[in-house]
Amino acid sequence: MVRKKVIVIVGPTASGKSSLAVKMALKIGGEVISADSRQVYKGLDIGTGKITHKEMRGVPHHLLDVASPKTIFTAHDFIEQGRVTIDDILKRGKVPIICGGTGFYIDALLGRVELPNVPPNFKLRAQLEKKSAPQLFAILQKLDKRRAKYIDKNNPVRLVRAIEIAKKLGKVPPLTKDRPLYNVTWIGINPGDKILRSKIRNRLLARMKSGMVREAKNLHERGLSYKRMFQLGLEYRYLALLLQKKISKKEMLQQLENGIWDYSRRQLRYWKRNLDIRWRAK
C-alpha cells in the first residue's frame, strides 16, 4: 500500500513553526493543519498565540476554532477531524502540512501512538477532582514515570486522564512505529535556549499589549468559568488567577514566563525521541 505523503513541522512554543508552515505552503501548494490542543477552541486567540488571518497570507488553515472552550475537545476528536482533513487536502491535489506543538496529538493522528481504549471512570474522576495538580502529578509519577516525564504537570484534566489510563492498563501505552499511516517528512525547529527564551519573553509581552488580559476577562463574562480557564492551562490558568486577584500582574508575568519555558523543555524532550526529525535553527 502506498502511504500518503504529509509534512510535519514541530518544535517548542514560540520557535517559529507557524511562519515556516506558511512559507512552505506558499512554495509547494500546501494547506496547514493546526495541531494545538487549545487553538481548536473559539475565542482563545491571543492567549494561545493563534495565527492571525494576515499572518496566514491566504494559506488555508484547518482545525482552528472548531469547538467551544466550555466543552472538552479530545485527542479522539482531533484524530477523526484531522484524518478527514488530510484526505480532503490530498484529494484536491494539495500538500497537508501538520504544524503544532501538541506532540501526542500529532503522533496519534499519524498512527505512531494508539489511543488507549479506556472509558471514563467517573467514580475515580470524582475522587481525583478534589486533589491539586501537584498531588495528581505525584500520583501519576508513582503509576507511570514515563508518562509523567512528558505531561503538563499543571494541567489537571490531562493528569486525571493519564491516571485513569494508568490505573486501568498499568501504564499509558508508548509510541508504536509498526503501523504508520503516512509517509512523513519531519521538520523540527529549535533556535537554541538563549534565543528561545528571548522569543518567549518578547511574545508574552506582545500578547499583553495586544489585550490578552482583556480577552480572558471577556471570555469569563461570556460564561467561561475560572475553573475551566484553569484547566485550559498556561496563559489562561495564570490569567484566571490574575482576574481573581490571587496574584499581581508582575507575579503573573514572571510565573507565566517560567511556565511557558518549562513547557518548551517538555516539548523538546518529547520530540527528541523521534530520530526521523530533521532539526533546524529557524
pTM: 0.87
Band (250; pLDDT cuts 50, 70, 90)? very high
pLDDT reported for residue 152: 79
- Is the pLDDT at 227 greater than 70? The verdict is yes
Mean pLDDT of 16-26: 97
Band (154; pLDDT cuts 50, 70, 90)? confident
The string of pLDDT tens digits covering residues 25-56 is: 999 999 999 999 999 999 999 999 999 999 99
Alpha-helix runs per DSSP H in the chain: 17-28, 53-56, 75-91, 103-110, 122-128, 133-143, 145-150, 156-169, 193-210, 212-221, 226-231, 234-243, 249-272
Query: Which residue would you say has higher pLDDT here, 28 or 147?
Result: 28
pLDDT reported for residue 130: 87
Band (158; pLDDT cuts 50, 70, 90)? confident
Laid out side by side, the sheet with 95-99 consists of: 61-62, 30-34, 95-99, 4-10, 182-189, 278-280
In percent, the amount of the chain with pLDDT more than 90 equals 77
Query: Which residue would you say has higher pLDDT here, 29 or 161?
Result: 29
Q: Where is average pLDDT lowest: 15-19, 126-130, 149-153, 225-229?
A: 149-153
Band (187; pLDDT cuts 50, 70, 90)? very high
Residues 6+ away with beta carbon under 8 Å from 48: 36, 38, 39, 41, 235
- The answer to whether residues 184 and 8 touch, using CB atoms and an 8 Å cutoff, is yes
pLDDT reported for residue 41: 98
Q: How far is CA 11 from the centre of its chain?
A: 11
Residues 6+ away with beta carbon under 8 Å from 171: 143, 144, 146, 147
State the architecture of 4-115+182-191+271-280 in CATH terms: 3-Layer(aba) Sandwich (3.40)
CATH no. for 193-264 = 1.10.287
- Cα dihedral 146/149/151/157 (nearest 10): 70
pLDDT reported for residue 157: 82
pLDDT reported for residue 173: 64
Query: Which residue is it, cell 484547518?
Result: 62
pLDDT reported for residue 176: 59
Query: Which residue would you say has higher pLDDT here, 19 or 155?
Result: 19
Query: Which residue would you say has higher pLDDT here, 231 or 203?
Result: 203
pLDDT reported for residue 247: 98
The string of pLDDT tens digits covering residues 69-126 is: 999 898 889 999 999 999 999 999 999 999 999 998 999 999 888 777 788 888 999 8
Residues forming a β-bridge with 7: 97, 185
- Exposed, middle or buried, 195 (CB in 10 Å: 0-12/13-18/19+)? middle
Write phi, then psi, for 220 (nearest 5 degrees). -65, -40
Query: Which residue would you say has higher pLDDT here, 158 or 205?
Result: 205
- CA–CA separation, 220 and 49 (whole Å): 19
- Is the pLDDT at 1 greater than 70? The verdict is no
DSSP state for residue 3 in the 8-state scheme: P
pLDDT reported for residue 179: 67
